[in-house]
């Protein structure tokens, strides 16, 4: 506060020439009073000479002071002229004894410095805005989708190069046109777009059909509004042409159906080989057992069961290919294992002197029919039998049990050579086989894996087992066990 008061007091001190003028005027007034009281003769000549000199000095001082002010004002005026041309430079401050003039210089230079800093900041902001605008423009132009900017009147105000390519029109023909005039939409798509603007709802990846230049095109449309204000309809629309992608999808879908048909045909041939071999074998036994009616009836029953199994295999493979049927049946796991071993694998086990060990813990039951599980177990056991043909003391073990979470585990393992580490990642691929030509189609494990997966289960190869090959089937159980 004292500093401010002292500064204010200093600003109120008159300049030196004002004191001189005041002193001169005081002398002149005193001289005039003497003349009026005593007459001009009473005033000595020296006084007249002094008064005249004082007047001359007064005039000279005034002229010098005025000249100093004029010079200062001229310097400031020159600075203003330069500033009008855009160069904001402070002026040189001369040595002045007048504090008013010195303060004027100082305030002017301070104002010029502040304006220069403000203009530099504004210029920097302008450069940033221009750079950002150029960057956004580049991003808009390199978008793979056509971009349309729409104003509140649903007229196009922004387009990019992809929009020109999609509509085959230059920018000057697109800007200003109505959105619904440019987009030749179907009635359904037009309603979707109108509802979006009416209720101000964004559109995400809406596939629409457009008629562009007498051609049908499919595009993925996205719409986003610029602001959330309900009264403002300005929006940005992107249109990505996906016609070639849809055609590719249709082509791939057709190829997948052909591949599925091929897999189905191969699967039928693969799965029917086993029961047909059994039918052929028991038919020959039946011919040799005609004199023994009891044995003949036994062989005839097996042939009938295997024939039904063939029909069931075909139906299960068809259901697998269609993937649209839901079964409410349940299957007793131990019973299925016994049937597969006794009817399909027993002869092969005897032929190759393979020991089969079965270990059942409880009587687990799984959801779904038994047909697909028969196919899976048959494939695993046939693979084990083929892998043990040149193994001494061959053994196959089958274990079933209920595990935590209500699941059922079926383990099929053998003491064969196992599967090489470099091939384990491919054993469930369709048509992949390590067998010789004509001995395997490469579909057994692939179809088995797909069937187990469809039932919500898992079929995997146990890589931790080192004494041969071990496959683990894990299926959701029903929680119901018969005793």
CB-CB neighbours of 63 under 10 Å: 10
**Residue 233 burial (CB < 10 Å; 0-12/13-18/19+)?**
middle
- Contact partners, residue 338, CB within 8 Å, separation at least 6: 358
Residue 61 is predicted with a pLDDT of: 61
Alpha-helix residue ranges (DSSP H) falling in 142-240: 161-167, 171-174, 179-182, 187-199
3-state secondary structure 313-363: HHHHHHHHHHCCCCCCCEEEHHHHHHHHHHHHHHHHHHHCCCEEEEEECCC
Residue 256 is predicted with a pLDDT of: 54
pLDDT in tens, the chain (483 residues): 344 433 333 444 445 555 555 656 666 666 666 566 555 555 565 555 666 666 666 566 666 666 666 676 777 777 777 777 777 778 776 666 667 777 877 888 888 888 888 888 888 999 898 888 888 777 778 788 899 999 988 899 989 988 888 888 888 889 999 888 888 877 888 888 888 888 888 998 888 888 777 777 888 999 999 888 877 888 999 999 888 887 776 666 555 554 555 555 655 655 666 666 667 666 766 666 666 777 777 767 777 777 776 766 666 656 655 544 555 678 899 999 998 888 767 777 888 888 999 999 988 999 887 878 888 898 898 889 888 988 899 999 999 999 888 899 999 999 999 988 888 888 887 766 766 544 555 667 877 888 888 788 899 999 889 899 999 999 988 864 444
| Cα separations in angstroms, 313 against 306, 327, 359, 438, 448 | 10, 16, 27, 21, 12
On the question of a common fold for 143-241 and 327-483, the answer reads no
Encoding tokens for residue 260? 């599925």
| Cα separations in angstroms, 100 against 2, 16, 20, 364 | 21, 12, 17, 109
Pick the CATH number of 244-325 from 3.80.10.10, 3.40.50.150, 1.10.3210.10, 1.10.287.130: 1.10.287.130
β-bridge partners, 355: 395
Encoding tokens for residue 357? 């060990």
pTM attached to this predicted model:
0.40
Comparing CA positions, the residue from 333, 330, 387 lying closest to residue 362 is 333
Helix (H, G, I), strand (E, B) or coil at 439: coil
For the chain, the structural domain boundaries read 12-117, 143-241, 244-325, 327-483
- Contact partners, residue 278, CB within 8 Å, separation at least 6: 302, 306, 343, 344, 347
CATH superfamily entry for domain 143-241? PAS domain (3.30.450.20)
Alpha-helix residue ranges (DSSP H) falling in 142-176: 161-167, 171-174
> Measured in whole angstroms, how far is the alpha carbon of residue 330 from the centre of its chain?
43
Residue 254 is predicted with a pLDDT of: 52
Q: Which CATH architecture has domain 327-483?
A: 2-Layer Sandwich (3.30)
């Amino acid at each position: 506060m004292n500093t401010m008061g002292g500064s204010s007091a200093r600003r109120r001190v008159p300049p030196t020439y004002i004191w001189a003028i005041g002193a001169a005027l005081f002398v002149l007034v005193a001289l005039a009073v003497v003349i009026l009281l005593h007459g001009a003769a009473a005033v000595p000549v020296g006084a007249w000479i002094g008064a005249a000199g004082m007047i001359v000095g007064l005039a000279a001082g005034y002229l010098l002071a005025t000249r100093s002010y004029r010079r200062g004002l001229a310097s400031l005026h020159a600075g203003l002229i330069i500033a009008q041309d855009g160069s904001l430079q402070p002026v040189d401050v001369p040595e002045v004894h007048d504090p008013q003039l010195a303060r004027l210089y100082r305030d002017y230079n301070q104002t010029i410095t502040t304006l220069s800093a403000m203009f530099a900041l504004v210029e920097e902001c302008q450069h940033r805005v221009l750079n950002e605008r150029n960057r956004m423009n580049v991003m808009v132009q390199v978008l793979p989708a056509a971009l349309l900017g729409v104003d509140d009147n649903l007229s196009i105000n922004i387009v990019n190069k992809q929009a020109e390519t999609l509509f085959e029109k230059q920018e000057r023909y697109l800007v200003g046109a109505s959105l619904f005039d440019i987009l030749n939409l179907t009635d359904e798509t037009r309603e979707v777009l109108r509802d979006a603007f009416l209720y101000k709802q964004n559109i995400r990846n809406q596939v629409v059909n457009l008629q562009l230049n007498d051609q049908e095109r499919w595009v993925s449309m996205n719409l986003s509004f610029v602001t959330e204000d309900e009264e403002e309809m300005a929006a940005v629309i992107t249109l990505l042409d996906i016609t070639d992608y849809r055609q590719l999808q249709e082509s791939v879908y057709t190829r997948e159906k052909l591949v599925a048909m091929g897999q189905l045909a191969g699967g039928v041939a693969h799965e029917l080989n086993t029961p047909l071999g059994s039918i052929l074998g028991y038919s020959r036994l039946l011919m040799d057992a005609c004199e023994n009616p009891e044995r003949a009836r036994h062989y005839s029953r097996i042939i009938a069961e295997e024939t039904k199994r063939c029909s069931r295999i075909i139906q299960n493979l068809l259901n697998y290919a269609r993937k649209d049927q839901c079964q409410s049946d349940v299957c007793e796991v131990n019973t299925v294992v016994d049937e597969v071993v006794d009817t399909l694998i027993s002869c092969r086990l005897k032929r190759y002197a393979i020991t089969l060990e079965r270990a059942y813990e409880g009587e687990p039951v799984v959801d779904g029919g038994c047909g697909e599980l028969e196919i899976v177990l048959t494939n695993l056991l046939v693979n084990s039998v083929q892998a043990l043909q040149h193994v001494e003391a061959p053994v196959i073990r089958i274990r079933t049990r209920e595990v935590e979470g209500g699941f059922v585990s079926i383990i099929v393992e053998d003491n064969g050579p196992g599967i090489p580490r470099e091939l384990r990642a491919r054993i469930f691929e369709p048509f992949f086989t390590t067998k010789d030509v004509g001995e395997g189609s490469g579909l057994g494990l692939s179809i088995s894996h797909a069937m187990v997966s469809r039932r919500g289960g898992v079929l995997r190869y146990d890589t931790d087992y080192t004494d041969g090959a071990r496959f683990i089937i894990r299926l959701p159980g029903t929680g119901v066990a018969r005793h």
